[in-house]
Amino acid sequence: MNYQVLFSKKNQYKNKEKSKEFLKIFFISCILISGIGISYFVLFLNTDQEDTTFFIQAFEQVERGCLTREVPQYLSGNDEDNDGIDNQIDIMESARERTSADVTYIDAYYSENEGKPLESEGVCTDLFWRAMEGAGFDFQEILYSDMKLEVSDYPLHIWNTNQVDKNIDFRRVPNIEAYLKKYANNLTIEIEECNFESISEWQPGDIVIFKLDGKGPADHIAIISNKRNNRGIPFLIHNWGIGTVEDDNWFGEIVGHYRW
């Protein structure tokens, strides 16, 4: 919710001190009510420079939300595809590129094209492996190679099988989760808004896994964006049934947080 407040210079209040008090009360009330800051706060009062500076500084802090400093950007120090972009950022940017595509959410088995759906089709896992591919990682092959060697590390019983299937295994969240648990950096699954130390743990390019209904096996995967809401919570890049989007819709239970 945005507020735009304009105050007239003339005849707003006869008493300068009363008008300043009113503004302070109004300003604090807006913060408490909106919870998301004020887009514009224009002051046209017959006040001295010091008073005006106070309100402008307060406005700028509210506009930024509860963050008073930038969250440092983590970099892996590696560039798998030698494109001049760090892997961590490359994964995120490759995921973001998919938000411009018109993708229909279709959960199906594909026997052709090595099990890969058309560019115009897919689910949350298709966004993930495509983001990895854009950063130089053939996740389908990476996962398949490990599953052939250590199939018991993967929850194939969920699908009533003990056979590795290259056409579908890389598109199943529990298999991706099992691989990430083994080889990726396992990070906190706790996140607290407006807590600088907490939100700093969630970096662009990180991978998050959810249980949407809080029950059964994990069933959703997302990539962390470099955008944050004004409470410090990062946006997610994911496909949750309406195509690939970038938003701050965190839902379900967080069961995994990984860094490649």
Q: List, for residues 146-179, the tens digit of each pLDDT value.
A: 999 999 999 999 999 999 999 999 999 999 999 9
Strands 4-5 and 40-41: parallel
Mean pLDDT value across the chain: 83
Q: How far apart are the C-alpha atoms of 64 and 54, rounded to whole Å?
A: 16
Q: Mean pLDDT across the stretch 7-33?
A: 48
Residue 237 parent element (H or E): strand 234-239
Checking if the pLDDT of 134 tops 70, the result is yes
pLDDT at 241: 87
pLDDT at 68: 80
The answer to whether 240 touches 123, Cβ cutoff 8 Å, is: no
- Domains of the chain, by residue range, sit at 4-63, 87-259
Q: Residue 215's pLDDT band (boundaries 50, 70, 90)?
A: confident
Q: What is the CATH number of domain 87-259?
A: 3.90.1720.10
Residue closest to 58 by CA, chosen among 68, 48, 73: 68
The answer to whether 229 touches 241, Cβ cutoff 8 Å, is: no
Strands 253-259 and 244-247: unpaired
Position with higher pLDDT, 67 vs 113: 113
Other C-beta atoms within 10 Å of 13: how many? 16
Q: Residue 255's pLDDT band (boundaries 50, 70, 90)?
A: very high
Q: Mean pLDDT across the stretch 232-257?
A: 94
